[in-house]
Amino acid sequence: MTGIDGKVVAITGASAGIGEAIALHLADRGARLVLGARRVQRLTEVAGRIAAAGGQAACQQADVRRREDLAALVGLATERFGRLDVLVSNAGLGTTGPLDQLAVQAWEDLVDTNLKGVLYGIAAALPVFRAQGSGHFVNIISTSGLKITPGQVVYAATKNAVRTLTEGLRQEAGPSLRVTGISPGLVGTDFAAGMTDPDQREQTLRMRDQIAIPADAIARAVAFAIEQPDTVDVGDMVIRPTAQS
């Protein structure tokens, strides 16, 4: 199936930021959406906006740290629309801070959300894709894994783990499945809210206000990967502000 119109796309972390932008953009292109996030009210509002514009969107609460939530999200797609064409693993935490803080719980939360959450999505969707003979994984990664910055070490480590996972999945996927990794740079979202170091948070907010690109830029990259013919696999994209070093 070439293009976006009619495809069933599940998105995690769809209640705000990049996930919301992806949902709205793909809905505008005719995709049928299955949206998951922890914040149910925000999620319902996004689904309502899509429906009000004439689109189709189902939604339910989904915490990617819980394997059963990902299984339920994929199940909702197959029950409501009869198939799943794309899984966009977008949900993630942006907690940062120097290693000297020994914020071990925060480290565990990063691993559970940013890495295990993607793995749980794969575990839920891969059998469906294999049975269909088609499917597309789109993993949202980060440029933080490409340029390591003090204070973002654990966050970057989880994103680089997803980068490795994405490439390995691509190699194992075979000729009928597609796998795409997209690494956003500085995007105009509330990412800085998770930063525990006040100086780093202030610096990031200042840079965001100066050079950040809109979340829709990432949504358009996702759409580009999805709309290619089934025989074309867009493997890796980096989308960042021109002014970002």
CA distances from 165 to 121, 144, 156, 179 (A): 12, 16, 14, 10
Confirm if 86 and 136 have CB atoms less than 8 A apart.
yes
120 annotated active-site: no
Detail the DSSP E strand segments found in 13-55: 32-37
Q: Which of 81, 129, 137, 155 is labelled catalytic?
A: 155
Q: How far apart are CA 165 and CA 126, in angstroms?
A: 14
Would the CA dihedral through 50, 178, 127, 168 be positive or negative?
negative
CA distances from 175 to 10, 87, 136, 169 (A): 22, 18, 12, 12
User: Which has the closest alpha carbon to 184: 228, 150, 219, 210?
Assistant: 219
The residue written with tokens 């990063």 in the block is 110
What long-range pairs does 106-114 form, CB within 8 A, spacing at least 24? 106/154, 106/196, 107/154, 109/65, 110/154, 110/155, 110/158, 111/158, 112/65, 113/64, 113/65, 114/155, 114/158, 114/159, 114/161, 114/162
Burial class (CB in 10 A: 0-12, 13-18, 19+), 153: middle
Residues involved in catalysis: 155
